[in-house]
Amino acid sequence: MMESCFGGDTYDLWYAQSEKVRQACYVQPANPDIVNTAVDNVITSYKPDGSQSKTPLYPRQLVDTVVKYAKYQLSNFTCQMHGLGYLKDDLSLDYQYIADELMNFTIPDDLKADLQKLGAYCRDITSCYNPNIFGKMTETEINIKRAVFYVRCDKEVRSMACMKKDIKAHLAEFDTSSMPEKDPNVLAAKLLYAFINVEGNDDLKLY
């Protein structure tokens, strides 16, 4: 989706740079197959009647492997984000650099404007995000948690911006005669939200 949305040249340039940094940063974590196998073994050994065996349900080997794997994954993530300029030396997000990079993308102005607004939205909610709800964290740990939170948000809003761009390009395929709006941007946004709510209707359920 990103390639067709941003255009081949812009996407390819960004992807090549990202891949170069990824390869420079990458450290092979514990084999995920080992983690999955260990988890499967725990699940199959679980006793539905609630009785407990003399050994821990989650043995030390499994716990240590999962923790080690998670640390490798986070290390690779922060290294790549720092290498791309998205994180400062203290691992806090460099919002100005992220915004400047977007301004330099060769993409349609309306798409760039949407991405700027959505990027500001992710910045604002990430700045308010408090990871300390489960216990006191160091400043570095908070910065890493916020970086993960921001990337999750950014992926979602980029996808939304690209879907809106696609809907707008094919607006003639939608009979919007019953809708009072005539502005293509407004129509595309309303159709986008309508389809998102239909596909993700679980989001509108309380439980």
Q: What is the pLDDT along the chain (207 residues), one digit of tens a residue?
A: 778 888 888 889 999 999 999 999 887 655 555 555 555 655 555 555 555 555 677 788 888 888 888 888 899 999 999 999 999 999 999 999 999 999 999 999 999 999 999 999 999 999 998 887 777 888 998 999 999 999 999 999 999 999 999 999 999 999 999 988 889 999 999 999 888 887 766 766 777
Residue 197's pLDDT is: 80
R_g (Cα) of the chain, nearest Å:
22
Q: What is the rounded distance in angstroms from the CA atom of residue 82 to the CA atom of residue 18?
A: 11
Residue 83's pLDDT is: 95
> What pTM, to 2 d.p., does this model score?
0.81
Q: What is the rounded distance in angstroms from the CA atom of residue 64 to the CA atom of residue 80?
A: 24
Strand partners, 87: 93
Give the residue among 104, 116, 111, 122 at the shortest CA–CA distance from 4: 111
Give the residue among 166, 182, 126 at the shortest CA–CA distance from 150: 126
With beta carbons less than 8 A apart as the criterion, state whether 133 and 149 touch: no
Residue 54's pLDDT is: 59
Residue 201's pLDDT is: 64
- Could you read off the pLDDT of 116-166 as tens digits, one per residue? 999 999 999 999 988 877 778 889 989 999 999 999 999 999 999 999 999
With beta carbons less than 8 A apart as the criterion, state whether 190 and 181 touch: yes
- CA distances to 72, 73, 80, 155, 169 from 26, rounded to whole Å, are 9, 9, 8, 21, 39
